[in-house]
Amino acid sequence: MSTPPREAVRELLSEKTIARRVSELAARISADYAGREVIVIGILKGSWIFLADLVRLMTVPVVIDFMTVSSYGTSTRTSGVVKIVTDLKCPLEGRDVLLVEDILDSGLTMRYLLDNLRRRGPRSLRVCVLMDKPARRKVEIRPDYVGFEVPDEFVVGYGTDYAERFRHLPFIGCLENREGEGDDAR
C-alpha cells in the first residue's frame, strides 16, 4: 500500500475549530466534575493528541492513564472482539473515570471497553469522544461528551490515521481516493 499524498486530505475541521470545541468540552467536563478528581483514560493510539489538549484545559485534578487496544483478526477491525495490548496501571475502584476516544464508529470497541472497565468497580464511568459517526453505529452507545458529529467518510489527522499516516496533522480531514476502500471507512 502506498502512502496517499497530503494533498489527498480535504480539511473537514480546522485547527481553530477543534481548539474552540476542545476548550468548550474541557469547561463542561470541569464543571461536571467540580470538587472531584478524575481518572482520564486515553485509548491509544488515536486519542493521544485530543487527550493532551483536553486535560491541559481542565481545571479539576486529573490522573492520566492509557490503554492500548486492538481488534482481533486482519480486516475485521469492527468485529467487536477487542484485545487489550497494554492495560491500565491505575486501579479504578471507587474512582470517577472518564474514557477518552478519538472516534466512535461502530461502537464495538467502546462497548467492549465499557463492559471491561465497569467490572473494575469505578464510582462513575463516562465517555468523551472527539468525533461521533452515528451513521456507522452497530450497537447503541451514547457518549456523555461529543466534540463533533462527522459524516461517514474516512477521517485522518489530530491523532487519527490511515495506515499510521497523518496522525500528526493539526487539523482533521477526509481522505479522498483511497485504494482498496473497504468496510473500515473511518
Active site residues: 105
Q: How many residues bind ligand PRP (CB under 6 A)?
A: 16
The footprint of ligand PRP on residues 39-68 (CB under 6 A) is 43, 45-46
The footprint of ligand PRP on residues 110-129 (CB under 6 A) is 110
Residue 104, interface with ligand PRP (CB under 6 A)?
yes
Query: Cα(146)–Cα(158) distance, rounded to whole angstroms?
Result: 15
The three cell numbers locating residue 160: 487519527
Q: Which of 29, 103, 150, 155 binds ligand PRP (CB under 6 A)?
A: 103
Query: Cα(148)–Cα(18) distance, rounded to whole angstroms?
Result: 9
79, 48 contact by CB (below 8 A): no
Q: How far is the CB of 35 from ligand PRP (least distance, A)?
A: 30
21 versus 165: smaller Cβ distance to ligand PRP: 165
Evaluated on CA atoms 132, 59, 53, 51, the torsion sign reads negative
Q: How far is the CB of 66 from ligand PRP (least distance, A)?
A: 11
- For helices 15-32 and 48-57, the axis angle rounded to 10 degrees is 60
Residue closest to 163 by CA, chosen among 45, 14, 72: 45
96 versus 101: smaller Cβ distance to ligand PRP: 101
Q: How far is the CB of 37 from ligand PRP (least distance, A)?
A: 25
Q: What are phi and psi of 63, to 5 degrees?
A: -120, 130
Q: Which stretch binds ligand PRP (CB under 6 A): 16-24, 33-41, 101-109, 169-177?
A: 101-109
Residue closest to 93 by CA, chosen among 111, 68, 62, 118: 118
Q: Which of 26, 50, 77, 96 binds ligand PRP (CB under 6 A)?
A: 77
77 versus 95: smaller Cβ distance to ligand PRP: 77
29 versus 103: smaller Cβ distance to ligand PRP: 103
- Our CA dihedral for 82, 88, 92, 95, rounded to 10 degrees, sits at -110
Residues that bind ligand PRP (CB under 6 A): 43, 45-46, 77-78, 101-110, 161
